[in-house]
């Protein structure tokens, strides 16, 4: 997901970021220089629930090519994902994207594996200089994990907005709907007191979690830290590194 989004309640559908590839790939269209990043997350401080990933964005004229990969789990159970997307901007006010993903599931001890391909689309639109909205649909083809699992992959619809109050402060709000489950809501805020430091917080539902984060920008390198806290299960820390090549 990216440590920036994790620190803001996993919200940011209308933001432009390298890690938009994991939330709404339309956000990639606003990137002006090539960038690459990695993250590591340990759910509830358990090594068996470790999640790691990488992302690469390459601007090409009015569009941006996005490549992502991540892995979750351990030797007896793990999930992997590879993504390839393309986002394009139309003028200064519209961004659209299409993305294809490979999903794999593997059980240890020779219990087998299965895979599937999914498709997703995203858009962002400028309403005013301060307000952007975004929308995203995941697994439109209603793919299923085959093999011994025969499990449906969720089809998810999302919508959100970002409002920039000043160059130093913005807020986000997203809603997510799995077509087979109830809605989830996510809210975030980012404060940018100077050219180096970013402070973030947020809240998400389903179940309720509190989110906190901080980022440091040093020349071409971003270092982001995030922490999500769920009262019943504890804390989920995350660290991310992003590098801009120009």
Q: Which one has a higher pLDDT value, 231 or 230?
A: 230
Quick one: pLDDT at residue 149? 60
Torsion of CA 162, 31, 20, 36, to 10 degrees: -140
> Tokens 């001890």 map to which residue?
109
Per-residue model confidence as pLDDT tens digits over 137-175 = 999 889 988 766 667 889 999 999 999 999 999 999 999
Residues contacting 167, CB < 8 A, separation 6+: 192
Q: Which CATH number fits domain 3-244: 2.40.160.40, 3.20.20.140, 3.30.450.40, 3.40.640.10?
A: 2.40.160.40
d(CA 175, CA 198): 24
DSSP 153: P
d(CA 123, CA 108): 39
Ranges of each domain in the chain: 3-244
Per-residue model confidence as pLDDT tens digits over 43-92 = 888 988 999 999 999 999 899 999 999 999 988 889 999 999 999 999 98
Quick one: pLDDT at residue 85? 97
d(CA 243, CA 5): 17
């Amino acid at each position: 997901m990216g440590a920036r989004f994790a620190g803001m309640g996993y919200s940011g559908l209308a933001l432009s970021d390298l890690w938009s590839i994991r939330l709404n790939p339309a956000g990639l269209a606003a990137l002006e220089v090539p960038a690459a990043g990695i993250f590591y997350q340990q759910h509830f401080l358990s090594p068996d629930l470790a999640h790691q990933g990488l992302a690469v964005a390459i601007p090409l004229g009015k569009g941006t090519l996005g490549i992502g990969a991540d892995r979750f789990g351990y030797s007896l159970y793990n999930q992997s994902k590879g993504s390839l997307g393309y986002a394009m901007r139309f003028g200064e006010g519209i961004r659209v994207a299409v993305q294809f993903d490979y999903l794999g599931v593997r059980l240890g001890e020779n219990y087998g594996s299965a895979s599937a391909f999914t498709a997703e689309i995203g858009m962002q639109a400028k309403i005013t200089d301060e307000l952007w909205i975004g929308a995203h649909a995941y697994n439109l083809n209603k793919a299923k994990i085959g093999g011994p699992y025969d499990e449906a992959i969720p089809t998810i619809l999302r919508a959100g907005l970002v409002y920039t109050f000043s160059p130093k402060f913005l807020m986000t709000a997203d809603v997510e709907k799995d077509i087979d489950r109830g809605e989830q809501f996510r809210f975030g805020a980012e404060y940018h007191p100077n050219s180096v430091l970013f402070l973030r917080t947020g809240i998400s539902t389903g179940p309720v979690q509190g989110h906190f984060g901080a980022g440091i920008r040093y020349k071409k390198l971003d270092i982001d830290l995030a922490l999500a806290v769920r009262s019943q299960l504890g804390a989920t820390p995350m660290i991310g590194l992003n590098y801009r090549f120009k």
